[in-house]
Structure 1
Amino acid sequence: EIAMSCCKSERKAKDTVDDENVHKMVQDYYGKQLQSSKDLKTNACTSSGRPHDIILNALKEVPQPIKDRYYGCGSPLPFGIDGLHVLDLGSGSGRDCYVASKLVGEDGFVTGIDMTDEQLDLANSHIEEYTKTLGYEKPNIKFVKGYIEFLDKAGIESNSQDLVISNCVINLSPAKTRVVQEVYRVLKEGGEFYFSDVYCDRRIPSELRSHEILYGECLSGALYVEDFKRICHKAGFADPRIVSRSPIDVNDPELKELLGNCQFFSITFRLFKLPSLETVCEDYGQFAMYRGEISGHTHNYPLDDHHLFITNKPMLVCGNTAAMLSETWLAKNFHVDGFRDVHYGPFDCGGNSVEGPNTGKVVTATSSGGTSS
């Protein structure tokens, strides 16, 4: 945006619909108007690549009605989460909760929160059946009614969750900043927010934000990705990492004309609640080695879109990455050497820009410093 001042370029975009109307609009769209993912007018809410075999195998055991009413835009579930307490924001039909229920095992627990009665009724109706399918003695999954902006009112306590997931939901919230703040509150220190959502390559014009179909299709509520990163920083998530990104096609002629040059992406982020993280990657001469013990990642582990750790190979990492691998639920899967007593300057972690082409290129940390392709 040429000749725009710094202050203006960073101003917060305002929604043109109030919170109550947005909630009612979303409840009606997902509770009554949509009966299956086939009713969607774009692929924004269902845009994702082929799920990992572990997810596909888990999905085979999920009741079909749960899968039929699924509107997610990715697969926001990391592997190796056995025993963790997981919270799913805007759980909808409960599909991701059901899959997570299997991944965390009987020692873990999954909570889904949603504001739509129709979806909650569906999600709750299959818990007993699914518990028997998995062979568990008792359910390790529950669904509660509430708003993702007010997790406290739904009984979600501070520092109670190891992992928070969300699938194409935050863009539907009229109070996105509060959602991220609430996630930070309920996470334990070292916990993670791992989620997929829809983002735009620019700020969406205010006149489009009240368009009911565009909002329900996860488009007009999408944030400019750099604005979202600013929200993360303010909430305490100092180093947002992108795991994957894919373009979203808008094929409906009328909607395409309304959106003009706006380009949308389905992006999976991971955010760690770690006070030690810095806003810029710094070099402390630290090394990390992946042990190769996470299911589905025998030979390597992709921390994000530009950190691929080869099993049993020591790799030079920045201070933030070292913290993510040694001070979170991932710690048991990595060996990290070095401390922050000596600083060697900035560390180039690389990474792809959301505005650029999605090449799928993965960059690995190397023992010679910096990154290489």
Structure 2
Amino acid sequence: LTCSFHDRLTNNACLAPAQPIPAFVLKALKKIHPEVTSKYYGCGLVVPECLEGCKLLDLGSGSGRDCYMLSQLVGEKGHVTGIDMTEDQLEVARKYVDHHTQEFGYEKPNVDFVRGYIEALKEAGLEENSFDIIISNCVVNLSPDKRKVLSDAYRVLKDGGELYFSDVYSSRKLSDEIKNHKVLWGECLGGALWWEDLVRLAQEVGFSPPRLVTANVITVDNMELEAILGDYQFVSATYRLFKVPKISNKASLVIYNGNITGFGESLEFDAQYTFKVDEVVEVDGEVASILSHSRFAEEFTFQPPGGPAGCGVKKPKVCANTRTMAPNVS
């Protein structure tokens, strides 16, 4: 489950990360076997924060590059599972389990790979309430049943768990011509979800409203495809969805303690909130619920509103939607 090979893409969705790659992530990537890296055909890089000791699932794991990178970040006490439908890719990933166990200095493997479909996690043997985090890298758009992907992800996540994923979104619902165009499908555009449908589907299956992390406009360098796409616009965006209790309307003051690996000075949580260490930031009820009921709970001090606010950064919302961060594709 990947987009077309990079050298055949006619859009920029896979060319550059939306944010600089942290040094500790680059260090982890350098330890991965060259064959795993060379046979990985995913787009970009998806690395959530606060991973130590977590149990993580990668949807559409391919040759295992992201799994092996993340297996270093979760540490020996954490675990990473990759699921993919392509046996050839899984063979490459499984081939190097022992190699990476030794390379990382672990006594036993903390990564495994299963064959299956991202819409059928139960059938693949993945248990309910078993993962802290799920990631996905430009894969959900290739699924014909995106609701099932989200509902299965919600089912296997623990309470407080997160789906952190990057994908392609459109400015409005796609026409049948675009959906059925083989080249556009291979370009990860034909399966793009209208971002408002993501908002609706996520909440219908139980997730908190999606939080936008980053978004880049996708440009298409092909006149024939441009003619078919017309005034449709696309973005490559990373969202975070949480399995937390229904949102309280109560705002809260939070203080980031700076203890997350690689984020000692500040934590850029999403496109709206950046938390600087030891500074008081007022957050809305949605974010307060997420922070206090997820793995981030121990990384913040919480205070009732009304106290002094500090210099934490709260950015203006990307769109007029007051509940959900949305990519600006207008």
Normalising by structure 1, what TM-score?
0.80
- 1:257 Cα shift? 2.2
Q: Give the drift of 1:253.
A: 2.6
- Equivalent-residue separation in structure 2 for 1:152 and 1:46 (angstroms): 34
CA distance in 2 between partners of 1:355 and 1:325 (Å):
22
Determine if the alignment matches structure 1 residue 299 to structure 2 residue 265: yes
**Shift in Å at residue 45 of structure 1?**
4.1
Task: Classify 1:47/1:250 alpha carbon distance in 2 versus 1 (closer, same or farther; 3 Å).
Answer: farther
* Alpha-carbon separation, structure 2, partners of 1:327 and 1:355: 26
C-alpha displacement at 1:217, in angstroms? 1.6
Which residue in 1 is equivalent to 2:81? 111
CA-CA distance at 1:238 after TM superposition: 2.7
The 5 Å alignment of 1:1-373 reads: 36-49=5-18, 50-277=20-247, 282=249, 284-338=250-304, 350-353=316-319, 354=326, 356=328
Rounded to whole Å, the distance in 1 between the matches of 2:272 and 2:94 is 39
Q: Deviations over 1:43-68 (max 9, x none)?
A: 32455233222221111111122222
Unaligned runs of 5+ in 1: 1-25, 340-347, 359-373
Moved over 4 A (4+): none
What SS does the aligned partner of 1:304 have? coil
AA in 2 matched with 1:336: F
Report if the CA contact (8 A) 2:220-2:226 is conserved.
Answer: yes
Greater mean alpha carbon deviation, residues 196-205 or residues 246-255: 246-255
Task: Note the residue ranges of structure 2 that are not aligned, 5 or more in a row.
Answer: 306-313, 320-325
Question: 1:356 Cα deviation (Å)?
Answer: 3.4
> Counterpart of 1:115 in structure 2: which amino acid?
M
Give deviations 1:225-260, integer Å, cap 9, x for gaps. Answer: 111111101011132100111111211232222212
Q: Structure 1 pair 261/273, CA: closer, same or farther in 2 (3 Å)?
A: same
Checking the alignment, whether the CA contact within 8 Å between 1:37 and 1:70 is kept in structure 2 is no
Alignment check: 8 A CA contact 1:74 1:268 kept: no
Cα drift, residue 83 of structure 1: 0.4
Matched length: 315
Report deviation, 1:322.
1.4
Partner of 1:361: none
Partner of 1:16: none
Residue 318 of structure 1 aligns with an amino acid whose one-letter code is: D
Contact 2:81–2:113 at 8 Å: present in 1 too?
yes
SS in 2 for 1:151: coil
Using a 3 Å threshold, how does the CA distance of structure 1 residues 296 and 206 change in structure 2: closer, same or farther? same
RMSD: 2.0
Structure whose CA Rg is larger = 1
CA, structure 1 residues 309+218, in 2 after alignment: closer, same or farther (shift >3 Å)?
A: same
Q: 1:263 to 1:285 in 2, by over 3 A?
A: closer
Q: Work out whether residues 37 and 68 of structure 1, in 8 Å CA contact, stay in contact via their aligned partners in 2.
A: no
Cα distance between partner residues in 2 of 1:143 and 1:285: 41
